[in-house]
Structure 1
Amino acid sequence: MTSDPLATVLDAVRAAGLSTVSLDLNGVRDKAAFMERCARALDLPDWFGRNWDALADCLTDLGWAPAAPGRLLVVSGWQEYADAAPQEWVVAQEVFTDAVGYARERGAGLEIVLALGTRA
């Protein structure tokens, strides 16, 4: 048995040919750390400006990313960031929501889910 409760779901998504990315926010308490974690986990391009607009641009124009018929981004460990910087977390959620909506309108196949696991 695996220690990752999402492993079965992620394996099924990958088997369907979709790309998966895990964004682990454990230990993130501010915007700078959030942006850095996004840059590393998503392997964002060098031009990523580490601000909300740049994150939105990267998530709505995936031309910089390897081609894939669809993408699933799983965000875990987000509760600490949400508690430490609630206004920033609201903005992050808005960016995620807008990116998914944009992708759906264009048939681009982007889904972002927040893993609810236990708090540390």
Structure 2
Amino acid sequence: MTTLLGAHAEVDDHLEALRIRGHDVVVVTAGVDKATTLDAFARALDLPTWFGRNWDALVDALRDYDGPEGRSARLGRPVELVVDHAKTLRDGDSHTWSTLLDVLEEVEHERDDLTVTVVAR
């Protein structure tokens, strides 16, 4: 289940608790629309050049994502994917917001080692 957070203190406490429990925390700053959001994922996750900047490509990339520098899978550590500053996307492009949540929940449901937090601030 995707965690939705808003308040700054709530977010900081949540991320610190994850780090203490041994999660690799990866932060993606949401864009304002589909194109900028997919670009943000490509940069933050250092996705391969084949990443097609569409929803299917994001699903594929997240299914294969092994954490920062591939170390999470190698070390057996779970990944916490944090989509931060998502309020602008949520308020300005509801279709992209809804699709992004669907994509994240789909991948999170398929993987035992990846959880998602969305921060709408």
TM range (shorter): 0.7 to 0.9
Contact 2:87 2:119 in 1 (8 A): no
Instruction: Give the RMSD, CA atoms, in angstroms.
Output: 1.9
The correspondence of residues 1-120 of structure 1 with structure 2, limited to 5 A, is 5=9, 6-25=11-30, 28-63=31-66, 66-68=70-72, 69-103=77-111, 107=112, 109-117=113-121
Query: Residues 116 and 63 of structure 1: is their aligned pair in 2 closer, same or farther, counting only changes over 3 Å?
Result: closer
Greater shift after overlay, 73-82 or 60-69? 60-69
Q: What are structure 2's unaligned runs of at least 5 residues?
A: 1-7
Bigger proportion of residues as helix: 2
Letter of the 2:86 partner, please give it: W
Q: Number of aligned pairs?
A: 108
CA distance in 2, matches of 1:51, 1:85: 16
- State TM-score, norm by structure 1: 0.78
Query: Residues 70 and 89 of structure 1: is their aligned pair in 2 closer, same or farther, counting only changes over 3 Å?
Result: same
Letter of the 1:50 partner, please give it: R
Q: How many Å apart are 1:17 and its aligned residue? A: 2.6
Q: How many Å apart are 1:62 and its aligned residue? A: 2.1
Bigger radius of gyration: 1
Q: How many Å apart are 1:7 and its aligned residue? A: 3.5
CA distance in 2, matches of 1:34, 1:54: 13
Matched-pair identity in %: 31
Letter of the 1:101 partner, please give it: H
- State TM-score, norm by structure 2: 0.77
Q: What are structure 1's unaligned runs of at least 5 residues?
A: none
